[in-house]
């Protein structure tokens, strides 16, 4: 039985470990002993308490692993990925860090490592879909609308974060890169708000965020953009906070002490944005692909809608992100995907047979992706 090491036991890391533990020998690593205890008490999962910011600790932990899963917060992600690659271990990562993963491509190839990055829902499943179609047609337009929201809307934010608030805030501060008529265009995050209608959900607002990531390098598609979905009004509130300086990373002096505004803001937002136990929430994604296939104009539309799973207590964001990750993990473990170097999800989608296997994997877990 192969050994899988899951770095991080947060909301999504737990879902990943649970999904893999019946087929592989899984070890979950985190500094939070309470979260680890929940896994160990109910599932055949080994647990190890370690500080994953310690490079030496990571090297010791992964020594016997056949595959590593990176599920740490974004600010730790790049260093963790670099450490795992330097140890010659294959990795599937969902950390969504700011740094350029391709900076580690040469290192991964030198170490004969498959490093699949950004393997969540978006980025992740959205890239896989585009990669699949790009291999068969000349894609001219790609649009992704995606978001995770609580069913119950509570003022003022009408939002709950299924992962670290500081990672959500990063979406509201990073300039949004989009492709327009073959040119890279930089737009402010939270800009170009539009309203989008969804059956059984109603009206959501969509705004620019920097979600294209690796697609900007790998996909020669002239028109591409990703927009984040929230309940109407959220973008305005976040813009006010951002423009006032609450998201600034540079320290300011308060009563003689240096304080980073973003640290205070994330600390204050955490209890406001934290999902309560068994709180109903959902993930929604709509993808539009247009182009020419066999010299004929073609349009493809994909729609994903998933809700909190009450029986297991698994959030929708953990399901859609985590199970896309475990689908890719199985492809790597079973040698269906064997490319070396930094491998973005679009490369996986373009690999023969992988897209179909991922769809079946999600379908078995009752994640509907209609098209």
Mean per-residue pLDDT for 269-273?
Answer: 90
Which pairing describes strands 138-150 and 91-93: parallel, antiparallel, or unpaired? unpaired
Q: Where are the alpha helices (DSSP H) in 151-233?
A: 165-173, 215-218
Mean per-residue pLDDT for 194-216?
Answer: 96
Mean per-residue pLDDT for 323-346?
Answer: 98
For residue 93, the model assigns a pLDDT of 98
Is the confidence at residue 156, as pLDDT, over 90? yes
- What is the pLDDT confidence band of residue 113, given thresholds at 50, 70 and 90? very high
For residue 277, the model assigns a pLDDT of 83
Write the CA distances from 104 to 78, 180, 308, 342, integer angstroms.
9, 28, 36, 7
All domains in the chain, ordered by first residue: 3-117 (3.40.50.720), 125-307 (3.30.360.10)
Residues sharing a CB contact under 8 Å with residue 87, sequence separation 6 or more, in sequence order: 58, 59, 62, 63, 111
Q: What is the pLDDT of residues 216-268, one digit of tens each?
A: 999 999 999 999 999 999 999 999 999 999 999 999 999 999 999 999 999 99
Percent of the chain clearing pLDDT 90 (strictly above): 88
For residue 208, the model assigns a pLDDT of 97
For residue 35, the model assigns a pLDDT of 86
Mean per-residue pLDDT for 153-181?
Answer: 89
- What is the pLDDT confidence band of residue 147, given thresholds at 50, 70 and 90? very high
Is the confidence at residue 164, as pLDDT, over 80? no
Residue 247, token pair as written in the block = 């998201």
Residue 76, token pair as written in the block = 């730790």
Is the confidence at residue 163, as pLDDT, over 80? no
For residue 84, the model assigns a pLDDT of 98
Instruction: Give me the half-sphere count of Cα atoms (radius 13 Å) on the Cβ side of residue 123.
Output: 28
Is the confidence at residue 120, as pLDDT, over 80? yes
For residue 302, the model assigns a pLDDT of 97
Residues sharing a CB contact under 8 Å with residue 280, sequence separation 6 or more, in sequence order: 150, 151, 152, 307, 308
Mean per-residue pLDDT for 276-296?
Answer: 94
Average pLDDT along the chain: 95
Mean per-residue pLDDT for 87-93?
Answer: 98
Residue 12, token pair as written in the block = 């999504």
- Name the E strands within 217-331: 223-230, 252-254, 257-259, 281-293, 296-307
Distance CA 252, CA 6 (A): 37
Q: What is the pLDDT of residues 45-63, one digit of tens each?
A: 999 999 999 999 999 999 9
């Amino acid at each position: 039985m192969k050994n899988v090491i899951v770095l991080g036991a947060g909301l999504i890391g737990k879902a990943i470990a649970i999904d893999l533990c019946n087929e592989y020998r899984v070890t979950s690593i985190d500094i939070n002993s309470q979260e680890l205890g929940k896994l160990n008490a109910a599932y055949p999962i080994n647990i190890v308490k370690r500080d994953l910011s310690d490079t030496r600790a990571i090297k010791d932990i992964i020594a016997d692993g056949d595959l590593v899963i990176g599920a740490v917060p974004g600010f730790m992600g790049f260093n963790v990925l670099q450490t795992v690659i330097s140890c010659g271990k294959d990795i599937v990562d969902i950390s969504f860090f700011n740094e350029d993963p391709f900076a580690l491509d040469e290192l991964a190839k030198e170490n004969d490592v498959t490093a699949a990055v950004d393997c969540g829902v978006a980025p992740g499943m959205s890239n896989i879909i585009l990669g699949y179609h790009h291999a068969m047609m000349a894609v001219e337009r790609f649009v992704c609308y995606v978001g995770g929201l609580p069913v119950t809307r509570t003022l003022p934010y009408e939002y709950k974060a299924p992962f670290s608030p500081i990672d959500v805030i990063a979406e509201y501060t990073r300039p949004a890169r989009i492709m327009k008529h073959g040119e890279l265009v930089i737009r402010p995050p939270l800009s170009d708000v539009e309203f989008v209608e969804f059956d059984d959900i109603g009206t959501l607002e969509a705004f620019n965020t920097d979600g294209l990531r690796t697609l900007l390098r790998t996909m020669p598609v002239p028109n591409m953009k990703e927009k984040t979905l929230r309940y109407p009004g959220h973008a305005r509130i976040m813009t006010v906070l951002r423009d006032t300086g609450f998201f600034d990373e540079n320290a300011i002096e308060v009563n003689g002490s240096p304080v980073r505004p973003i640290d205070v803001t994330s600390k204050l937002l955490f209890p406001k944005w934290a999902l309560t136990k068994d709180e109903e929430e959902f993930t929604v994604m709509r993808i539009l692909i247009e182009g020419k296939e066999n010299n004929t104009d073609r349009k493809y539309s994909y729609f994903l809608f998933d809700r909190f799973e009450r029986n297991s207590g698994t959030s929708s964001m953990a399901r859609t992100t985590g199970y896309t990750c475990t689908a890719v993990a199985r492809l790597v473990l079973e040698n269906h995907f064997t490319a070396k170097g930094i491998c973005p999800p679009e490369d996986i989608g373009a690999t023969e047979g992988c897209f179909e296997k991922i769809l079946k994997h999600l379908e078995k877990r009752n994640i509907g992706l209609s098209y």
